[in-house]
Structure 1
Amino acid sequence: MAQAVRIKNKTSGMIKNGYVGYSWTYLFFGWFVPLFRGEIGIAILHFIVSFLTCGLWQIIFSFLYNKQYMTRMLGQEGWELADSEELNALARQKLKIIDPAS
């Protein structure tokens, strides 16, 4: 089950929900998930691959999507984890991010 973790852009102040763990949403809605999250290029790529694999891609990628989305967001300039320390630690563990405090 996915766990919601807030992420914040330091420069703009924008706050979004990111998720770690299995994505039931991606399993059921597939390429619509990146489309609704504003990743149009990723959505097009996922649509093509889902079409070519007759939907098998959705089953496999539902295990990977949330991690890759969070990695893309946190890799962009200014985005950082902005939730409780417990949830931030969980996200760091799942995403294999080294804790900045250590």
Structure 2
Amino acid sequence: MAVKINMENPKTGEHLHGFYGFSWTTFFFGCIPALFRKDFKTFIGVFIILLILALVTMGIGSTVAMIVWAFMYNKYYTTNLIKRGFQFAGTHTENELASSKLGLTLNPDNCKTFTQNTPTSQIIS
């Protein structure tokens, strides 16, 4: 099941939801979720691939591709948001969980709540 994570682009102030986990909407509706998320390039690319696979394999190949794509799409979408300048904007715990599920390391560029921990040996009383 997909989990939402708040995302924010600090340059534009735009707020979106990122997702991680299995995408049931992609499983049942193929490329349509990309269209609703305004991910037009992905929508067109996946639509063409599914159409070609459906024609060549009488529907079996596109069904298999939709199952595989359902496991991949949320991670693909959210990492592309980060590449476009968005940052995780949930609580720090939510951001840590999302980044670990997506295979990312939190840093000041991709996380709004990131703080650099100062080693205790450098703290002056």
Could you tell me the TM-score, scaled by structure 1's length? 0.91
Larger radius of gyration: 2
Higher strand share: 1
Residue of structure 2 in register with 1:27 after alignment: 27
Tell whether 2:57 aligns with 1:60: no
Structure 2 unpaired stretches of 5+: 55-61, 108-115, 118-125
Count of aligned positions: 101
Are 1:87 and 2:100 matched, yes or no?
no
In the aligned structure 2, how far is the partner of 1:72 from the partner of 1:48? 20
* Structure 1 portions without partners, runs of 5+: none
Shift in Å, 1:98? 1.4
Per-residue CA deviations over 1:7-40 (Å, capped at 9, x if unaligned) read 0010121111111100001001111111111111
CA RMSD between the two structures: 1.3
Matched ranges for 1:40-59 at <5 A = 40-54=40-54, 55=62, 56-59=64-67
| 3-state SS of 2:16 partner | strand
When the two structures are superposed, what TM-score results if normalisation uses the length of structure 2?
A: 0.75
Q: Secondary structure at 1:97's aligned position in 2?
A: coil
Percent identity between matched residues is: 31
